[in-house]
Amino acid sequence: MRMSYREAMREAMREAMAADPRVFLMGEDVGRYGGTYAVSKGLLEEFGPERVRDTPLSELGFVGAGIGAAMGGMRPIVEVMTINFSLLALDQIVNTAALYRHMSGGQFSVPLVIRMATGAGRQLAAQHSHSLENWFAHVPGIRVLAPATVRDARGMLGPALADPDPVVIMENALLYNLEQEVPDDWACDITSAAVRRAGADVTLVTHGGCLPKVMDAADELEDLGIDAEVIDLRVLRPLDMACVAESVRRTHRVVVVDEGWRTGSLAGEVVAQLAEDSLYDLDAPPVRVCSEEVPMPYARHMEAAALPQAGKVVAAVQELVDA
């Protein structure tokens, strides 16, 4: 079956809501408007206003309401319109949802799923173009997912709702129109990275919206005689570094591509763990390709220049292989 990333997320929510009356969706414009990115279009008509709830413009308030509902036995899906708005709810996510199991000595859990759009490339300028996945991946007590394929968009929500602890799903907004075939067996886990392309010369590690660019780069590198393996992290906390390390043991070179800023990036964490645990498998220093250290520009050509692109990845690999 062929569907878009947007349709896959919608179908995953529809299936979850049909299967379990405890599941409901809440967030800004998720009901009558059908979602800012049309992900929830049609769900209000199907499930009604008790199960698809438009909220006030207060992320701190409605994320807190989602936490309370989860602790009360419900299975809420809370949509935060874009990741920059999640900054208004960091206290609820970091100081409440992530900590309850620990601070209650295991007596309470918060089975909450928070979905949010992330990433740049849509000329929404600095305020709506953040890639802050690593901010959340830094926090113990939450699981952070970054589905980069239609299959993962379809398959990750179910196990996320079954998790007794909070799960944050990062949906890169440039992926919503992506169309791919989804096999009948679309179920997937929320614990492991995935090898998207096998290769022998260099390992390319990425996640989310950068995956299509990295796959394009791998195609270009193949034309240049360089066989690249592509690892999609998929799960940003906890990281499946065993998958990355196994790849590096075979290729002996690694480039990590991350739309976040280089300083304090998830790419930096991947490189640090490789330096700690896989140093002697590397024939050259690890390389990072990240966004430029500037607020995201509005102008299209400047925005493109600030972001990781396939050409930047190809150049980084060529330099690494030639070193």
Task: Count Cβ atoms within 10 A of the Cβ of residue 116 and give its class: 0-12 exposed, 13-18 middle, 19 or more buried.
Answer: buried
- Please say if 59 is a catalytic residue: yes
**At residue 204, what are phi and psi to the nearest 5 degrees?**
-110, 120
- Per the CB < 8 A criterion, the answer to whether 236 and 134 are in contact is yes
The DSSP annotation for 96-138 comes to IITTHHHHTTTS-----EEEEEE---SS-TGGG----HHHHHT
- Please say if 207 is a catalytic residue: no
Catalytic residue among 7, 28, 59, 229: 59
* Strand, coil or helix: 144: strand
Helix axes 310-322, 211-223, angle to 10 degrees: 50
- Whole-angstrom distance, CA of residue 88 vs CA of residue 137: 17
Q: By C-alpha distance, which of 153, 70, 163 is closest to 115? A: 153
Catalytic residue among 7, 28, 79, 128: 128
Report the catalytic residues. Answer: 59, 128
